[in-house]
Amino acid sequence: MFPPIEPYRTGMLPVDDIHTLYWEESGNPSGQPVLFLHGGPGSGASPRHRQFFDPAHYRIVIFDQRGAGRSTPLGEYRNNTTQLLIEDIERLRTLLGIEQWLVFGGSWGSTLSLAYGEAHPERCLGFVLRGIFLCTREETDWFLNGVRWFYPEVHAQFVSMLPPEERGNVLEAYCKLLFSDDPEVFLPAARAWGRYEGSCLYLRPDPVAIEDFGSDAIALGVGRLEAHYFRHGGFFDHDQLIRDIGRIRHLPAVIVQGRYDAVCPPATAFRLHAAWPESRLQVIDDAGHAAYEPGIAAALVDATERFKLTGAF
């Protein structure tokens, strides 16, 4: 990854009566625009995300999606849908005077990248996608239930705060807690959700990631917004992202996937690649889900370098 850098411009963009979005630009103000879309939904962006891009070449645009990170209010799920996030991206693009950009996203960021690209293919130069998530019912069921086959103790801790009679529907049981108006109810639930996800991100569990995801600054956005989006099927029609893949198949794309990704298992990346055979699929055999695992980080940087030089992957 490239050395740490600071943004040369930041701002807060009001998008409705509730939400105001944090955005930033770093790197080369006259460079090739690239849009970074963070995961979650709700996890927010971090300074390390700037380091996937050569700052001498790229104009790096990062923003925190509704209810996430430095955007306000944190954890707000009202007026929060995929369609509104796509509108936010277009609003930001217009504000910054950008015609087209490379779109880079991992996990939920890959979901939003595909949704945005399929809505506005003319604004995209290509896609760097990691840890593919299509927000299907099968994938959300895996995250909420199937993970116990690999992390039984982590899953047991996750469901331990639910009444035994409600553990048959983990999502709805957590929604009751997460969408409560009482901080003494929703904050412990959000922390538990965040620790659960943080515990499964890396091939070798990372205590720092677990602590970060369990912190109020991340957990509230991740817990509430992931539950909100899962509950509504990502606000997609059935299999919409695969159905509409023809809208972006003419654009270059690379898919980076950890072989042992327990959060977003590789079958989904293979399914996307099968629907988009022109894309390049790169499986990292010694990695889980996290973007910062050495093999995944190296592949992502290699992708941005390839695009810098050739406009392809």
Kindly give the confidence (pLDDT) of every residue in the chain, 313 residues in length, as a single tens digit, with 9 standing for 90 and above: 999 999 999 999 999 999 999 999 999 999 999 999 999 999 999 999 999 999 999 999 999 999 999 999 999 999 999 999 999 999 999 999 999 999 999 999 999 999 999 999 999 999 999 999 999 999 999 999 999 999 999 999 999 999 999 999 999 999 999 999 999 999 999 999 999 999 999 999 889 889 999 998 899 999 999 999 999 999 999 999 999 999 999 999 999 999 999 999 999 999 999 999 999 999 999 999 999 999 999 999 999 999 999 999 9
Q: What are phi and psi of 188, to 5 degrees?
A: -60, -35
Q: What residues contact residue 90 under an 8 Å CB cut-off, 6+ apart?
A: 120, 123
228 in any annotated domain: yes
Looking at the fold, whether 29 and 114 belong to one and the same domain comes out as yes
Residue 141: how many CB atoms within 10 A of its CB? 13
Catalytic residues, by residue number, are 107, 261, 289
Rounded CA-CA distance 66/20 in Å is: 7
Domain extent for 63: 9-136+235-310
| Whole-prediction pTM | 0.97
- Domain end call among 233, 261, 289: 233
Residue in the structure block whose two tokens are 């997609």 = 236
- Do 151 and 56 lie in one domain? The reply is no
Q: Are residues 229 and 243 in the same domain?
A: no
For the chain, how big is the Rg over CA atoms in Å?
Answer: 18
Examine residue 195 and state whether it is found in any structural domain, yes or no: yes
CATH code, 43: 3.40.50.1820
pLDDT for the residue numbered 217:
87
- At 205 the pLDDT is 86
Residue with tokens 């799920």: 77
In a domain, 155, yes or no: yes
Q: What is the rounded CA–CA span in Å between residue 227 and residue 112?
A: 16
Are 61 and 22 a contacting pair, CB within 8 Å?
no
Q: Count of domains in the chain?
A: 2
31 and 21 assigned to the same domain: yes
Last residue of a domain, one of 202, 233, 264: 233
Pick from 173, 208, 233: which residue ends a domain?
233
- Residue 105 has a pLDDT of 98
